[in-house]
Chain A
Amino acid sequence: MDPTGVSGARSNGGGATREATGLESLHLGDEFRQDNVGGGFTALLELPPTQAVKLLHFADSPSSSSQAATVTGIVPPLHHSYETLTFPSNSALLMERAARFSGETTTSSVPSTSSVKTEPADETNSSQAAVNNRSGKRKDSDKKTEILKKKKNKSSEENEKLPYVHVRARRGQATDSHSLAERARREKINARMKLLQELVPGCDKIQGTALVLDEIINHVQSLQRQVEMLSMRLASVNPRIDFNLDTILGSENGSLMDGSFSGTAMQVVWPHQVIETEQSYHQRQLQQPQQWPFDVLNQRAWGREEDQVHGNDSANLHPNQVKMEL
């Protein structure tokens, strides 16, 4: 039952990520050309097409054309910055995406990975930009970007290990500190929105922030409702079962889930292990602290049961339960 569900969901996730290759997945219109005044999500609406927001690492990686080198170059700085994040579950996914993105052409931008990094050095970048602004009264921000590029290029190797976000200004965009910070923040939000889109099924086809958020809200609500339904179902099952069952299942599954979790292999292996665990219950190396009370409690519970049928049932429960894959 469940193995198909889980593997199906996994393949969906994989397919979705393959679809969202470029950064056009959010496809937010270019129609609103205004300065964003610090609104949170609304910044997303003004995201111009993702043409040239290159981040420093990947801008310099063309020198090393091999993709493996870029991946290994990315990985150490990512490790650094992730320690500052209090979001452990995301790091694996982002590293995976970094690997995938670096495999693409170097012109494609990859803000997702480095946008996760903290941005304390936006000040340094912006101070550089401010200096440029003051020194040369050039209207063409393109030239400003070149200067910034050169300066960044020089200090690129030193900065690789620092958790800095280097954002190159696009042509026609202001390069003062505020908009740089805003832009970096926008990139962060976009990157995370993309992850959310991949996580929530059916979200990658939707265009527009508001609808995506809608879907996310619906998904979260449905998950919460499912939890309630499941707990209701569990409670309405024979009460002796739902408290005993967990002990049985838990101790068995604790040991059985140590192995590989592939679907087909499991179903072959489980029948053997079922028999083994029933007999060698005590000998099994379980890491749970409640291991030994289980035996006592189970025996007491089963002794307490007046229902003969139920006693038989609990013996027969083992093969059935164990065949269920978690």
Chain B
Amino acid sequence: MQPTSSMKEEFLQKWQMGLQIYRPLIDNTSVSERMKAIKLSADVAMASLRRGTTCWSRALIQKTATEDNFLVRQMLSGIKAETLINKKLPKVMCHRKIVRRSKKILRRRKSRSAIEEVAAKARKLVNKKTQGLRNVVPGGEFMSNDVLLIQETLDYIVSLQTQVNVMRSIVDAAEAGSER
């Protein structure tokens, strides 16, 4: 599924709204501060497109809220902002470590056969990869379900592509304009 033009439009609108908030601070001369402002507003805009339906969007909003609470509150007007920002981390994360440790202990007792070993290695590899995916996708550590993880990844990739497309065209326009 490719990003639709309506998605791009909505993202652009929301991103601008976020940038407007930074407009009075336009005199931050440092490039890194401006970059942070741009990136944060773009991230929140992307996440707000999903209106809290997906796990990654909620996690992303929470992450940016730790960096710039004001921005998030302004961009997500309404009750949603409060509930999203104040949500605590789910407790699933703790359990996974315990489960993993206990699995390791159990594994030592298992009998090995040739086929089993190969399968076990393959399984381990796949598990490692899913853990890697969890690290990359925002909020991935809280998705205990693999099905949910893939679903979120799909949605996240599509949103990222919208974000990249819109940002790229704006940057190209800006650079072309400033070359004159």
Given contacts A86-B54, A213-B126, A223-B164, contact A10 B35 (CB under 8 A): no
Stretch at the interface among B10-18, B62-70, B80-88: B10-18
* A288: Cβ under 8 A from any B Cβ: yes
Q: Which chain B positions have C-beta within 8 A of A46?
A: 119
* A130: Cβ under 8 A from any B Cβ: no
Within 8 A of B (CB), among A177-217: 185, 188-189, 192-193, 195-196, 199-200, 209-210, 213-214, 216-217
Are A257 and B31 closer than 8 Å at their CB atoms?
Answer: no
* A265: Cβ under 8 A from any B Cβ: no
Q: Which chain B positions have C-beta within 8 A of A254?
A: 9, 12-13
B58: shortest Cβ distance to chain A, in Å? 11
B135: shortest Cβ distance to chain A, in Å? 8
Q: A146-162 interface mask toward B, CB cutoff 8 Å, 1 = contact, 0 = none? A: 00000000000000000
* B73: Cβ under 8 A from any A Cβ: no
The docked-state distance in angstroms from the alpha carbon of A200 to that of B154 is: 9
Task: Select from chain B the residue with minimum beta-carbon distance to A92.
Answer: B1
Q: B151-180 interface mask toward A, CB cutoff 8 Å, 1 = contact, 0 = none? A: 101111110110111111111111111101
B161: shortest Cβ distance to chain A, in Å? 7
The docked-state distance in angstroms from the alpha carbon of A324 to that of B138 is: 31
Are B167 and A324 closer than 8 Å at their CB atoms?
Answer: no
B119: shortest Cβ distance to chain A, in Å? 5
The docked-state distance in angstroms from the alpha carbon of A46 to that of B122 is: 11
Given contacts A45-B123, A231-B42, contact A246 B132 (CB under 8 A): no
Which of A196, A220, A221 meets B150, CB within 8 Å? A196
The total of chain A residues at the interface (CB under 8 A) is: 81
B172: shortest Cβ distance to chain A, in Å? 6
* B22: Cβ under 8 A from any A Cβ: yes
The docked-state distance in angstroms from the alpha carbon of A88 to that of B180 is: 43
Task: Select from chain B the residue with minimum beta-carbon distance to A45.
Answer: B122
Given contacts A230-B168, A231-B167, A237-B175, contact A210 B129 (CB under 8 A): yes
* B118: Cβ under 8 A from any A Cβ: yes
The docked-state distance in angstroms from the alpha carbon of A254 to that of B6 is: 10
Q: Which chain A positions have C-beta within 8 A of B22?
A: 243
The docked-state distance in angstroms from the alpha carbon of A288 to that of B14 is: 10
Are B160 and A220 closer than 8 Å at their CB atoms?
Answer: yes
Q: Which chain B positions have C-beta within 8 A of A192?
A: 147, 150-151, 154
Q: Which chain A positions have C-beta within 8 A of B173?
A: 245, 249, 317, 320-321, 324
Are B157 and A219 closer than 8 Å at their CB atoms?
Answer: yes
The docked-state distance in angstroms from the alpha carbon of A241 to that of B19 is: 12
* B93: Cβ under 8 A from any A Cβ: no
Q: Which chain A positions have C-beta within 8 A of B153?
A: 196, 216, 220
Task: Select from chain A the residue with minimum beta-carbon distance to B128.
Answer: A210
Q: Which chain A positions have C-beta within 8 A of B15?
A: 246
Q: B1-41 interface mask toward A, CB cutoff 8 Å, 1 = contact, 0 = none? A: 11001101100110111011011001000011011011100
B106: shortest Cβ distance to chain A, in Å? 11
The docked-state distance in angstroms from the alpha carbon of A205 to that of B69 is: 44
23 example contacts (A-B, Cβ-Cβ < 8 A) are as follows A13-B2, A32-B115, A88-B53, A196-B157, A199-B154, A209-B126, A213-B126, A217-B129, A220-B160, A227-B39, A227-B164, A228-B35, A231-B39, A231-B42, A234-B35, A243-B26, A245-B177, A254-B12, A257-B8, A290-B20, A317-B177, A320-B173, A320-B177
Question: Apart from A32-B115, A41-B146, A290-B16, what 17 extra A-B contacts exist at CB < 8 Å?
Answer: A34-B116, A39-B123, A41-B127, A42-B127, A86-B53, A89-B154, A90-B154, A196-B150, A217-B129, A227-B43, A227-B164, A230-B164, A242-B34, A243-B26, A313-B178, A314-B177, A326-B8
